[in-house]
Amino acid sequence: MRIYNTLSRKIEDFVPLDANLVKMYTCGPTVYNYAHIGNLRMYIHEDVFEKALRYLGYNVKRVMNITDVGHLESDADEGEDKMLKGAKRENKTVWEIAQFYTDAFFEDINKLNIKTPDVVARATDYIDEYIEFIKGLEEKGYTYTANGNVYFDITKVKDYTKLSGMDLNSLKVATRDDVEVDLNKKNPQDFVLWFTKSKFENQAMKWDSPWGVGYPGWHIECSVISLCNLGDQMDIHCGGVDHIPVHHTNEIAQTESYTGKPWVKYWWHGEFLIDNEGKMSKSSGEFLTLSLLIKKGYNPLSYRYFVLNSHYRKQLAFSFDSLTSAENAYNKLKSRIRNIKDNAAGNIDKNKVKKYKIDFEDCLRDDLNTANAITVLYEMLKADDLNNNEKLNLIEDFDRVLSLDLLKADEEEKDVHDELAAYIEEMIQKRQEAKKNKDYALADKIRAELLEKGIMLEDTRQGVNWKKIN
């Protein structure tokens, strides 16, 4: 397998540290609100990455954190405390907020067929380990204390920017009006390992420590949780590209300072999901969640299909039109496969099947090119040299990675989607005949009837398309 390594800025052959086990860490959610669909895009790509590794014969241990302890909105120790913000918004305790949105997150990933990682670690379960980690850094001379807070001194790390490639001299302290600059830092990029002086009144999550009652900085949790569950070195650390300049950079600095060893061999980052306003985020108030897509009538796996038709290293533009197109394509794919199931016959020739498996594997090996992998699926479905049993064998095999429920017998889904699609296609044909006969009143009536049912028709040069509008 060949994957892009952010650390080397090039595509490399994937060679795990231990031939018998791939150690993989994926940054988990901060559970103060629902995950938005941009967050979920990254979790889908990470899920496919893990499943692709297993498909290609690797044994994988994947660890993910759950950030259920308060940390600030900015990676750079700035902004509001997310957990407190959620608690105030909903008039609940921070612990209630954490549990509610942890449950909501796992409901979302279950609907998207995302496998739960082998180890799911809550940040609040590792307080003692954070303290020991900080004490270790303190003993090695990487920290300083100012105004009660313990800071990591980045000047003690020679290659601090090796992941981001940024020039520290060109970086400036944030000057937004709503950000209070921390004057206790020796350097603007230093970061807090342990807070005892919170700028928030009635800080809810606090623990005893050698430096006073307080709480950990958020960069520390991924370092410590990975060390506890995967050891001093691991193969893959995943996350969004927004984590490269600060969060992941700080993780590397503190972890390698603590262990004295290279920590992660391959850094694997996914790009943003964007809308008309740019990067999708929660800061705008109302944001797009999986629940919202479901309320609008979309199948969660249509969103997974939409995501898999893009490359993880490219920004993906989201619109409801594009999601509708993806759902139409997904439904047609499922209908086509059901027809193959209904007419299954023939013996399986392993040599013929093997050719398509190799093509599918090659796409996965090519920096996880899921879009091309789906193209192989379509090419296989229309192949004249395969009988239906051979096609079913391959569909089942490919879906170990794609996880689109391609063979799942879902009568409710069949009733809803097939009935709707068949009805719409029938109405489109009647409208086309009416237009052909110059019965424009009937054509307009059919369009109006569909519109009342929430279906909009679009006449294009390639034919008539339809989409849901409610």
Predicted TM-score (pTM) of this structure: 0.83
Rounded to an integer, what distance in angstroms lies between the CA atom of residue 164 and that of residue 167?
9
Structure tokens at 327: 């759902």
pLDDT value of position 184: 87
Half-sphere exposure at residue 96, Cβ-oriented, CA atoms within 13 angstroms: 9
Work out the pLDDT band at 173, boundaries 50, 70, 90: very low
What pLDDT was estimated at residue 94? 79
Rounded CA-CA distance 279/273 in Å is 6
Q: Are residues 365 and 422 in the same domain?
A: no
Domain assignment of residue 304, yes or no: no
Q: What percent of the chain has pLDDT over 70?
A: 86
Nearest to 215 by CA among 200, 233, 226, 236: 200
Q: pLDDT tens digit string along 52-74?
A: 999 999 999 999 999 988 654 44
Residue 335 sits in a domain whose CATH number is 1.20.120.1910
Q: What is the pLDDT of the chain when averaged over all its residues?
A: 89
Q: What average pLDDT score do residues 352-360 get? A: 97
Same domain, 198 and 166: yes
Of the candidates 270, 292, 309, which is a domain's last residue? 270
Residue 272 has pLDDT above 60, yes or no: yes
Q: CB–CB of 303/291 below 8 Å?
A: no
Q: Which residue has the higher pLDDT, 424 or 221?
A: 221
- Residues 183, 187, 190, 192: what is their CA dihedral angle, to the nearest 10 degrees? -20
Q: 156: pLDDT confidence band, cut at 50, 70 and 90?
A: very high
Report whether 128 contacts 210 (CB < 8 A): no
297 belongs to a structural domain: no
Which segment of 37-46, 281-290, 379-388 scores lowest on mean pLDDT?
Answer: 281-290
b/e per residue, 26-51, with b = 16+ CB within 10 A?
bbbbbbbbbbbbbbbbbbbbbbbbbb
Tell me the residue range of the domain where 353 lies. Answer: 318-402
CATH of the domain at 120: 3.40.50.620
226 within a domain of the structure (yes/no): yes
The answer on 169 and 195 residing in a single domain is yes
Q: Which of 380, 402, 424 is the last residue of a domain?
A: 402
Please state the domain count of the chain. 3
Residue 74: predicted pLDDT: 45
What is the per-residue pLDDT across 361-376, written as a single tens digit (0 to 9) for each? 999 999 999 999 999 9
Q: Kindly state whether residues 56 and 188 are assigned to the same domain.
A: yes
pLDDT at 414 over 60: no
Confidence of residue 278 (pLDDT cuts 50, 70, 90): low
pLDDT at 326 over 90: yes
Mean pLDDT of 256-274: 97
The sign of the dihedral angle between the CA atoms of 224, 7, 78, 41 is negative
| Greater pLDDT, 386 or 199 | 386
If pLDDT is split at 50, 70 and 90, which confidence band does 175 have?
A: very low
Report d(CA 249, CA 335) in Å as an integer: 47
Residue 163 and residue 192 share a domain = yes
Q: Which residue has the higher pLDDT, 14 or 218?
A: 14
Shared domain check, 253 and 325: no
Q: Is the pLDDT of residue 174 over 50?
A: no
Residues 450, 357 share a domain = no
243 lies in the same domain as 144:
yes
> Could you say which DSSP state residue 196 is in?
S
pLDDT of residue 327: 95
Indicate the length of the chain as a whole number. 470
Q: Higher-confidence residue: 166 or 143?
A: 143
What pLDDT, on the 0 to 100 scale, is given for residue 161? 95
Q: 255 lies in a domain?
A: yes
Domain contains 338: yes
R_g over Cα of the chain? 26
Residues 140 and 261 occupy one common structural domain: yes
Among 402, 424, 453, give the residue marking a domain's end: 402
Q: How far apart are CA 198 and CA 147, in angstroms?
A: 10
In-domain check, residue 309: no
Q: Please say whether the beta carbons of 394 and 357 come within 8 A.
A: yes
Same domain for 255 and 351, yes or no, is no
Which band of pLDDT confidence, cut at 50, 70 and 90, is reported for residue 178? very low
* 53 located within any domain: yes
* In a domain? residue 308: no
Mark whether 104 and 230 lie in a shared domain.
yes
**Greater model confidence, 43 or 91:** 43
Kindly indicate the confidence band of residue 421, based on its pLDDT and cuts at 50, 70 and 90: confident
Check residue 286 and give its pLDDT. Answer: 60
Burial class of residue 374 (count of CB atoms within 10 Å of its CB; 0-12, 13-18, 19+): buried
Same domain, 420 and 366: no
